[in-house]
Amino acid sequence: MPELPEVETVRRGLQRAIIGKKITAIQVRETRLRVPVNPRRLQRWLAGQRVAAVDRRAKYVLCRLQNDAHLVIHLGMSGRLLWCSQKLALDKHDHIRFLLPGGEELRFRDPRRFGLVDAVAPGKLAAYAHFQHLGIEPFSEQFAAEPLFQQAYNSVRPIKNHLMDASKIVGVGNIYANEALFRANIHPQKNTGKLTLDDWRRLAATVRETLELAIANGGTTLNDFYNSDGEMGYFQQHLKVYGREGEACEVCGTIIKRIVQVGRSSYFCPKCQKRR
């Protein structure tokens, strides 16, 4: 599943390509996504409008139009945005096409159909239902030691579970949670409420560093993530613990271990990340 770095990579690629372009037509070939597509709403608010900005909230790509309406896209499990020629042969999973001048188009492809494509009327984005329970953005001013400590000081669940809870912190998926905890020397099973302010200072810094490194490398291609240009990400070359069970820790040489937390694999170094 694309996480924050992958979505931010897509956003940046899309921003370079689509700003100032007019959506001349919209073709909806399949409405049965996770949230059913509403073709009339797309046509009403997006058709004939130029794209003014491309932003991101959590794992949603937001294209703001000149009329202040927004195109909202979530890639789900396997969604892709393709910037391509209108002459490119259609794939059976190409569900929505945004046609642009000069024979170009933005194409939404989603084999598993867990994605979302929607239009939000001008002035309604803050009240959009899918945004109401989203947590702190890792690159926002709120993502700092004191607010994070106050948010979690009485929590009894493991810190890795807390990091991956989108109602608390958005965009930190399993891979990045593992990597950030390793860099902060924090055990994934440590009780969240036991983290000190110093722990949160380290963790806030390593979460940002990990995400920034992933963005700089185009994300993590372990399954089927591609950016808007169809290129794969290369952050997997920088992984320190994720997927490295049985290998030596690059810092101390201790063998990396794997456990399962809430159905997800956690990787850690028993020496660098002691469970205190």
* Side chain identity, residue 211: L
pLDDT score recorded for residue 5: 87
Q: How many CA atoms are closer than 13 Å to the CA of 60, on its beta-carbon side?
A: 23
- Residue 55 phi, psi dihedral angles, 5° rounding: -120, -175
For position 231, what pLDDT does the model report? 53
Look up the CATH number of domain 145-268.
1.10.8.50
CB 3 within 8 A of CB 171: yes
**Set 2, 5, 158, 188: catalytic member:** 2
User: Is 2 one of the catalytic residues?
Assistant: yes
Most distant pair of Cα atoms in the chain: their distance: 60
Identify whether 270 is a catalytic site residue: no
Domain boundaries, the chain: 4-131, 145-268
Is-contact 228 13, C-beta < 8 A?
yes
- The letter for the amino acid at 200 is W
Is there a contact between 198 and 232 (Cβ–Cβ < 8 Å)? Answer: no
Residues 6+ apart with CB under 8 A from 98: 23, 25, 26, 46, 71, 105, 106, 107, 108
State the amino acid at position 64 in one-letter form: R
Spans of the chain, pLDDT less than 50: 221-226, 232
Q: Over the chain, what is the mean pLDDT?
A: 92
**What would the two tokens of residue 197 be?**
């302010």
Task: Locate all alpha helices (DSSP H) within the chain, ordered by sequence.
Answer: 4-18, 39-46, 145-152, 159-163, 174-183, 197-216
Residue of 12, 201, 240, 264 marked catalytic = 264
Contact, 89 vs 12, CB < 8 A? no
Q: How far apart are CA 245 and CA 259, in angstroms?
A: 9
* CA–CA distance, 47 with 33 (Å, rounded to integer): 21
Q: What is the pLDDT of residue 227?
A: 52
Residue 225 has a pLDDT of: 41
Asked if 264 is an active-site residue, the reply is yes
Among candidate residues 11, 56, 57, 59, the one labeled active-site is 59
- Choose, from 3, 8, 105, 179, the residue flagged as catalytic: 3
Right CATH number for 4-131 from 3.30.365.10, 3.90.1660.10, 3.20.190.10, 3.30.2080.10? Answer: 3.20.190.10
Q: Is 251 left (phi over 0), alpha (psi -120 to 50) or beta?
A: alpha
Cβ-based neighbours of 171, under 8 Å, separated by 6 or more? 3, 4, 5, 7, 58, 59, 137, 138, 211
Residue 3 appears among annotated catalytic residues? yes
**Beta strand pairing call for 70-74 and 60-65:** antiparallel
In this prediction, residue 235 carries a pLDDT of: 65
The confidence score (pLDDT) of residue 250 equals 96
